[in-house]
Amino acid sequence: MTIRTIAVFCGSNSGADPLFEKHACLLGKLLADQNIHLVFGGGKKGLMGTLANAVLENGGTVTGIIPKFLTDWEQQHEGLTSLMIVSDMHERKKKLYELCDAAILLPGGNGSLDEFFEMLTWNTLNIHNKKIIILNTNGFYEHLIAHLHRMDQEQFLYEQPMNRIKIVDTPEMIFSSGFF
């Protein structure tokens, strides 16, 4: 399968580790270099803004999908290739999944995990079968990965989670891993 569009789930804050922002910036450059369209939550702040700006600065294209209530707070990125304003968070997630061929999880908070787990659940239920990559910058997701393995060991999952997920430590590994 050719990957033309990637959804990226990441924080609207930059986080405490400067490497988070560095990896978001590098991922944006790599996406643009590979001519892969970015679809993301549409925010202008944090890792979201850093990622989108890096794609755009390197000649790539970006679609943001943002709920109306966040535009009322003026949180939307104004310089995107396209910006879709949707009614709520549920519609945002649905559009992200519809538009992407694969997804990458960068460091983030509750929203990033919500998007990741919904996509993983939909994969498990065969609603779609899109590749999911966790960018485990500086070990940020080690506890999450351990918990996924624990859920599997305790027989709460229908398949081993790593059947659907690829874990990498750097943005470069995303494109050299052979996962696409």
Q: What pLDDT, on a 0 to 100 scale, did the predictor assign at position 73?
A: 76
Q: What is the pLDDT along the chain (180 residues), one digit of tens a residue?
A: 789 999 999 999 999 999 999 999 999 999 999 999 999 999 999 999 999 999 999 999 999 999 999 888 778 999 999 999 999 999 999 999 999 999 999 999 999 999 999 999 999 999 988 999 999 999 999 999 999 999 999 999 999 889 889 999 999 999 986 766
| Residue 152 is assigned to a structural domain of this protein | no
- Whole-model pTM: value is 0.96
| Residue 13 is assigned to a structural domain of this protein | no
| Residue 47 is assigned to a structural domain of this protein | no
| Residue 6 is assigned to a structural domain of this protein | no
| Residue 130 is assigned to a structural domain of this protein | yes
| Residue 155 is assigned to a structural domain of this protein | no
| Residue 24 is assigned to a structural domain of this protein | yes
Q: What pLDDT, on a 0 to 100 scale, did the predictor assign at position 177?
A: 66
Domain range for 117 is: 19-41+53-98+111-138+161-180
What is the CATH number for 116?
3.40.50.450
Number of Cβ atoms within 10 Å of the Cβ of 57: 12
How far apart are alpha carbons 52 and 5 in whole angstroms?
Answer: 13
Total count of domains within the chain: 1
How far apart are alpha carbons 101 and 4 in whole angstroms?
Answer: 7
How far apart are alpha carbons 166 and 10 in whole angstroms?
Answer: 16
Contacts 24+ apart (CB under 8 A), 108-113: 108/9, 108/10, 108/11, 108/12, 108/47, 109/11, 109/12, 109/13, 111/9, 111/12, 111/41, 112/9, 112/10, 112/11, 113/144
Strands (E), the chain: 5-9, 37-40, 62-67, 82-86, 102-105, 131-135, 165-168
Three-state SS at 94: helix
